[in-house]
Amino acid sequence: MNAYYIDLGYKDVRIGMYDRLDFDGDGIPRYRYPSGLYYNITFICHVALYHHSRWLKFGRLDDLQLFLRVSEWIVLHGEESADSFIFPYTFPYACPHAHLAPPWISALGQGRMLSVLSRAHAITGKEEFLRTACKAMRPFELPASQGGVQARFPDGGIGFEEYPGQEPNLVLNGLITALAGLYDLGETGQAPRAGELFRQGVVSLEANLHRYDLAYWSAYDLTGYVASANYHLYHIMQLWALYEMTGREAFKRTTLKWQAYRKGPRFGATYLVSRGRTWLSQQLA
């Protein structure tokens, strides 16, 4: 299986991500939150996928060993039931549109797990990785109100929530990460349902992509919250990857359009005003 769909080293590692992680005795990263050190499945998978990409690029055995060690750790430490596998976040999270009490799950984390476990199965052939990945797909089939991560766009199209709350907000980067995980599991050839969920999600995102276009920048989520400069660049990287996966011209057009926004004369003042208005509305809410 190929390297992960975007260069995680470029996105995060080179700007000091590892400096903010605390690695336990097994080499598994923990993140230091105000309330303490916690295992965050998103960061755990990030480390695994980054080293998988390095192994493919340079062929170093230590990168492969680290990737497989983290993959095995995930299987051993997640929560498995008869038909599902989840890795809950055990710390509270509050954002403008969701207040999540532990334990909670995310399409972002579940999607990253699918990408890790699919690659571990491709390398080793171990059915344990594939079986766990198929169970980790289960939350994508359940609405957030039933403990899953599935939500709906205003037009009824399917989406996947990074922060499952009472109202859909469908954070763009989390949704695309979830789609990438479903794509990876579908590519194993042994999980046709994953491929179908990916197809449905891609069609839905294409139809609703305009909801994230602010005509000068991209929105972080459906509420129209203006993405930071880093997230805007991340959106561009992700949409280009979706174009490469699917060949759908809408993703290519939006990628080029949003890239042009980064050079547009209207950006500076409008961006700052919009961020200020968003912040003020949150304080008054």
Full-model pTM: 0.92
Q: In this predicted structure, which of 3-17, 62-76, 256-270 has the lowest mean pLDDT?
A: 256-270
- Asked whether residue 1 is assigned to any structural domain, the reply reads no
Cα angle 161-165-166, degrees, rounded to a multiple of 5: 125
In a domain, 108, yes or no: yes
**Residue 81 CB burial class (10 angstroms; 0-12, 13-18, ≥19):** exposed
**Residue-level pLDDT at 278:** 61
d(CA 131, CA 121) in angstroms, rounded, equals: 9
Q: Is 45 left (phi over 0), alpha (psi -120 to 50) or beta?
A: alpha
pLDDT at 275: 62
Quick check: is 181 in a domain?
yes
More confident of the two residues 205 and 18: 205
146 falls within a domain: yes
What backbone phi and psi angles, to 5 degrees, belong to 282?
-70, -35
Give the number of domains in the chain. 1
Q: How confident is the model at residue 178 (pLDDT cuts 50, 70, 90)?
A: very high
- Range of 50's domain? 8-284
CA torsion 53-212-179-104 (nearest 10°) is 100
Instruction: Classify residue 212: in a domain, yes or no.
Output: yes
**In angstroms, rounded to a whole number, what is the distance separating the alpha carbons of residues 43 and 224?**
26
- The answer to whether residue 217 is domain-embedded is yes
Determine the average pLDDT of the residues in 165-181: 94
pLDDT of 166: 79
- Domain membership of residue 2 (yes or no) is no
Q: What is the CA radius of gyration of the chain?
A: 18
Residue type, 223: T
Cβ atoms < 10 Å from Cβ of 262 = 12
d(CA 69, CA 123): 13
d(C-alpha 28, C-alpha 24), whole Å: 5
The two tokens of residue 155 are: 């037009």
The verdict on residue 198 lying in a domain is: yes
Which tens digits make up the pLDDT trace of 74-99? 999 999 999 999 999 999 888 766 78
Distance of CA 98 to the CA centre of its chain: 17
CA distances from 128 to 51, 65, 79, 80, 125 (A): 21, 17, 14, 12, 9
**Per-residue three-class SS string for the chain:** CCCCCCCHHHHCHHHCHHHHEEECCCCCEEEEECCEEECCHHHHHHHHHHHHHHHHHHCCHHHHHHHHHHHHHHHHHCEECCCCEECCECCCEEECCEEECCCECCHHHHHHHHHHHHHHHHHHCCHHHHHHHHHHCHHHHCEHHHCCCEEECCCCCEEECCCCCCCCCCCHHHHHHHHHHHHHHHHCCCCHHHHHHHHHHHHHHHHHHHHHECCCCEECCCCCCECCHHHHHHHHHHHHHHHHHHCCHHHHHHHHHHHHHCCCCCHHHHHHHHHHHHHHHHHHC
CATH, residue 122? 1.50.10
Where residue 250 falls among pLDDT bands split at 50, 70, 90?
Answer: very high
